[in-house]
Structure 1
Amino acid sequence: MSDLFVLQTPLLELVLRAAVIYFFLLLVMRFIGRHEFGQLTPFDLILLLIISESISEAFTAGDTSLLAALVSASTLLGLSVLVSIGQYKSRRFRSIVSPEALKVIENGKVIERSLRRELMTRDELVERLRARGIGGIEEVRIAYIESDGDISALTYRETDRYRAAAAAEEDK
């Protein structure tokens, strides 16, 4: 019981291990592609579980003390806060950590280059639009894959409504 709070691994090593793993995973997730995060499939869930299991030992270097787990978890939470602050304060840091929105449809036409970049098929794009209540690509004036993998789209109907509302506002 007394070994629960006795570190078997040096504190600095625990912090360094957690930081290296955090930034490694952050970079890997950044380069995997946005659309992978938009929907979590059973395969993705299994992959996340396997990854977490495969790196768990690396976080604590075999140190089974409660304190080692708390140090690792605190390091990860602290890094998450620091990354959020960095994104808030620096546009350049934000562009490294979180990609800009990527235009995938313009004036009812798919931008194939953008789909290839994200390894997204036309069928996946259409499926994601349908999930948003949009019947087809031809209805979309402009659509983006956001940094979180979600699809945002403005249809011609919505654009017309915004124009009408703006015109009505000008008349007042």
Structure 2
Amino acid sequence: MKKEDIIFSDWHRWLFGTAPPAFAFEAALRALVIFSAMLLIVRWLGRRMKGQLSISELAIILTLGAIIAGPLHLPTGGLLPSFAVLLTVLGVHRLSNWLAFKSRPAELVQQGDVALLVRNGCLELETMQNHALSQEQFFGMLRNQSIAQLGELRRAYLEANGRLSYYKLPEPQPGLSVLPPADRPPPAADGPAQGRQVCATCGYLPTPTDHAGTHCLRCKADNWVPSVI
């Protein structure tokens, strides 16, 4: 479109663009056809598409959106080429799932691997850094699971689909609170957490023979807070 063709008061262009008004009815029919086709395509992609999406499945969804954008509202775009591309994407997805089923390396490339975030009440800082996950973001995920402190956890994993899974210790140990600083409980006056400090960086709880108050033996930080239970 040339610059001189853009007229602010051109209501026809505002409403219909450069297509004739009759194309609005055709666009509605195209939308109905594409919507019906998309229902079948997503159904054929499998039940996983209705759950938490993996990396490859998210890529499929974004690709499907790009494919249907043109023929949905452009009069110069045909439906048949788009359906051919949709079927190709479906075939590629089925093939990639088959490869992931047959080959562990192929599965890791497509889906990613599980990541260990907590080991016996302590944060795995290097893993969190590799996944660009800050301590506060992770603590928010734990709060959503009604976990108040790291001493409750034996293991916590970030699954390949982005969800958090965890296994608790049989008996909670003193640990680092995951609550915001303003809501953290005061230092314990009695019990196993009384007088015990925990590393605020990684959650390491020193034993009585460790040199608590200096650098953490696990992450070398010098940042201690009262433990909670």
Same fold (TM over 0.5): yes
* Aligned equivalents of 1:142, 1:79: Cα separation in 2: 36
Give a deviation string over 1:2-31, Cα, whole Å, max 9, x none. Answer: xx9xxxxxxxxxxxxxxxxxxxxxxxx57x
Residue 158 and residue 84 in structure 1: after superposition, are their counterparts in 2 closer, same or farther (change >3 A)? farther
RMSD across aligned positions (CA): 3.3
Highest relative contact order (Cα 8 Å, sep 6+), 1 or 2? 1
CA contact (8 A) 1:126 1:137 kept: no
2:81 to 46, 68, 71: 68
Q: How does 1:110-125 map to 2 (within 5 A)?
A: 110-125=123-138
1:137 Cα deviation after fit: 1.9
Matched letter for residue 132 of structure 2: L
Q: Is the 8 A contact 2:117 2:127 kept in 1?
A: yes
> Which consecutive residues of structure 1, in runs of 5 or more, have no partner in the other structure?
5-28, 31-36, 38-47, 160-172
TM-score normalised per structure 1: 0.55
Rg larger in 1 or in 2? 2
CA positional deviation for 1:146? 0.6
1:80 to 93, 96, 100: 93
Q: Give the number of the structure whose residues are more often helix, by fraction.
A: 1
Residues 1:55 and 1:104: Cα distance change in structure 2 (over 3 Å): farther
How far did residue 138 of structure 1 move? 2.1
C-alpha displacement of 1:88: 0.6
CA-CA distance at 1:63 after TM superposition: 6.5
The letter of the residue matching 2:99 is G
* 1:84 counterpart letter in structure 2: N
Matches within 5 A, 1:8-157: 29=55, 52=65, 64-157=77-170
Whole-Å separation in 2 of the counterparts to 1:128 and 1:102: 15
DSSP-derived class of the 1:104 partner: strand
Separation in 1, partners of 2:117, 2:96? 28
* Match in the other structure for 2:219: none
What TM-score, normalized by structure 2, do the two folds share? 0.43
2:67–2:86 Cα contact (<8 Å) kept: no
1:106 & 1:54 partners in 2: Cα distance?
44
Q: Percent identity?
A: 22
TM superposition shift of 1:156: 0.9
Q: Which runs of 5+ in 2 are unaligned?
A: 1-25, 31-54, 173-229
Aligned residues: 112
